[in-house]
Chains A and B, each alone.
Chain A
Amino acid sequence: MDKIQNNKAWFLVLPVLVLVAFSAIIPLMTVVNYSVNDTFGNNEFFWAGLEWFEEMVTSSRLHDALGRQILFSGIILAIEVPLGIFIALNMPKSGFWASFCLVLMALPLLIPFNVVGTIWQIFGRVDIGLLGHTLAALGIDYNYTNDPLDAWITVIVMDVWHWTSLVALLCYAGLQSIAQAYYQAAKIDQASRWAVFRYIELPKMQGVLLIAVLLRFMDSFMIYTEPFVVTGGGPGNATTFLSIDLVKMAVGQFDLGPAAAFSIMYFLVILLVSWVFYTVMTNLDKAEGQ
């Protein structure tokens, strides 16, 4: 039978192309436009070339924010991933308490970001907040509004509270898919608890862990709302992460050109790091299969 050659089939791709153009490409292009022009409003543009990019790449302000951002994401991952795994391992496997734990774990995930920020902003206040006041009463000098370390601790604890559930739930799903026979075989082989984790549970969780790490990395690298509500980026610039700095630059100072250049680089960094994560972890998986 002759194969029918009909290139009109390409038209079927058109709706998707239009949709993606309107939802992503065109907005992105306006940002690109801003990043290579200088403007003082009124839709007047002056060609600036790569000037803004050069400025941003050499800007110590951006370097500092990037440093803080990397530190923040690093700490978040270092706490949430092991903690999430630990919680998942200790959650009941079935019955009433399993459902109870699942609901309990899902709750923080359902709260809107700015509400989470508000909760912790009030919770940590020394005058009226339960946490802040209690700590003060215990004689601990805690004040997130003027101590950078306290501000960092607050922001990190808040993120751990908000997002560890995600890691835990993903790992829990991974653990649930392990057939009972594996545990029985391990018993027969007299495997220790650690060996069971290392050779059965961890390999089976690898897939979901990749997703968990990727999601938590991207989310924490783009974090804005919660620290903005709690500390506003302060004290000083202590908790000014990339997004917060970007908004300050674009909306606060109306430096649209540098902000646009910043946005593009920010986007590319996240894309690059996510791609590296993904490639490394899937290759690891393949290499093991050899």
Chain B
Amino acid sequence: MAQITLKNLAHSYFPNPTRDQDFALKEMDHVWQDGGAYALLGSSGCGKTTLLNIISGLLRPSQGRVLFGDRDVTDAPTAERNIAQVFQFPVVYDTMTVRDNLAFPLRNRGMDAAYIAARVDQIARMIGMEEILSRKAKGLTADAKQKISLGRGMVREDVNAILFDEPLTVIDPHMKWELRTQLKRLHREFGHTMIYVTHDQTEALTFADKVVIMYDGRVVQMGTPEELFETPAHTFVGYFIGSPGMNLMEAQVEGDTARLASGMTVPLGAQYGRPAGRVQIGIRPEYAMLTAGEGLPVTIRRVEDVGRHRLVRAEVLGAPLNVVVPEGMPVGAELTHVRFAPQKISVYADDWRIAPQGRAA
């Protein structure tokens, strides 16, 4: 097992990339701790699979280095990197039995037969497949096949990291929970570094200790689920994490006050100086409150009951705004205004979050 370091890494599918948009992966520097559970989260085409393939060695980056521990593996072929990968669609060797599937990577490495048998039994116990070891892999369900792929990865003791490329795509919803829980348990017990690619925020937030959000070939934020929720570093994170995402409003910020398009002001929780560029303020729907007179005037369009709470789709100064209203609180005609919790407002200049300079006076 090893810590994974990405040094000045960038990748382009063009032979001679010149412009920024030629790069599928923009330059990045990251260290992935040994034994961590990471999720790579982003919408389709943001470069997360490219990054995964670079780590697994299926793709050579156009620039930068990949280090496993102290060893530079940028040019090392996949087989030498000792990584395991679980793919989107279950990859099992159909004609082999489950046992042979699990033994396959060890046999290819010329391991001793007695060791292989013992190791396969051990892995089968871990993934709960002792019962069906002698069955052919062909007729199994998708989730069983995914478990076999996972087992085939873990069967090697020297495995550096296990990579998951949207592994639950073809799994039935009720099995997703179970598999994810099992995965978490295996991670806690055996401490493999796990990197999990997905575009489903629930999967990412429940699985990972650290979630890496990618947008347009860039890692925009790497943090715990709480950090992503409370202090999104980029407007994309605000929009992508949360259901619904963060409300964003064009504003001019000066000190601890944001002035909206109509001239109305919103108090902020800290001093922000006078940021330049395109300035926006962001507030999570959970931190906006409907009031009877305090705050900004609001027009309520629709109320959706989603069970635990209700979601109010509204409009403020011509821009859409979502507000989460706790269950039990009546939404009546007297609620004509909306107030934002000042400490929970984030300020963005050209989509990137600005760190507050100090407490508001």
**Chain A residues, Cβ within 8 Å of B152:** 185, 189
| A189 and B95 in contact, given A179-B89, A181-B89, A288-B138 (Cβ under 8 angstroms) | no
| A188 and B78 in contact, given A195-B108, A290-B136 (Cβ under 8 angstroms) | yes
Contact yes or no, B85 A184, CB < 8 A: yes
Contact yes or no, B108 A187, CB < 8 A: no
Chain B 50-90 near chain A by CB (<8 Å), digits 1 or 0: 00000010100000000000000000011100011101110
Residues of B in contact (CB 8 Å), total 27
Contact yes or no, B79 A188, CB < 8 A: yes
B85, B93, B95, B96: which contacts A188 (Cβ < 8 A)? B85
When C-beta atoms are compared, the residue in chain A nearest to B159 turns out to be A188
**A85 to B56 Cα, complex, angstroms:** 31
**Chain B residues, Cβ within 8 Å of A185:** 85, 87, 91, 149, 152
**Chain B residues, Cβ within 8 Å of A189:** 104-105, 108, 152
Contact yes or no, A288 B94, CB < 8 A: yes
Q: How far is the CB of B92 from chain A (nearest CB, A)?
A: 9
B83, B95, B104, B149: which contacts A288 (Cβ < 8 A)? B95
Q: Which chain B residues in 140-197 approach chain A with CB under 8 Å?
A: 149, 152-153
Contact yes or no, B77 A187, CB < 8 A: yes
Q: How large is the interface on A (under 10, 10 to 19, 20 to 34, 35 or more residues)?
A: 10 to 19
Main secondary structure of the interface of A (DSSP, over half): helix
Contact yes or no, B136 A289, CB < 8 A: yes
Contact yes or no, A190 B79, CB < 8 A: yes
**A170 to B56 Cα, complex, angstroms:** 33
Residue from B78, B89, B96, B135 having most chain A Cβ neighbours under 10 A: B78
Q: Which chain A residues in 141-198 approach chain B with CB under 8 Å?
A: 179, 181-182, 184-185, 187-192, 195
Interface assignment of A91: CB less than 8 Å from any CB of chain B: no
Residue from B89, B108, B135, B149 having most chain A Cβ neighbours under 10 A: B108
**Chain A residues, Cβ within 8 Å of B149:** 185
Given contacts A184-B87, A195-B104, A199-B104, 8 further A-B contacts (CB under 8 A): A182-B91, A184-B56, A185-B87, A185-B91, A187-B77, A189-B104, A190-B105, A203-B93
Sampled A-B contacts (21; CB under 8 Å) = A179-B89, A181-B87, A181-B88, A182-B91, A184-B87, A185-B91, A187-B77, A187-B78, A188-B78, A188-B85, A188-B105, A191-B104, A191-B108, A195-B104, A199-B96, A199-B104, A203-B93, A288-B94, A288-B138, A289-B139, A290-B135
Q: Which 9 pairs between the two chains have the least Cβ-Cβ distance? A: A181-B87, A189-B105, A185-B91, A190-B108, A289-B139, A190-B79, A199-B93, A187-B78, A203-B95
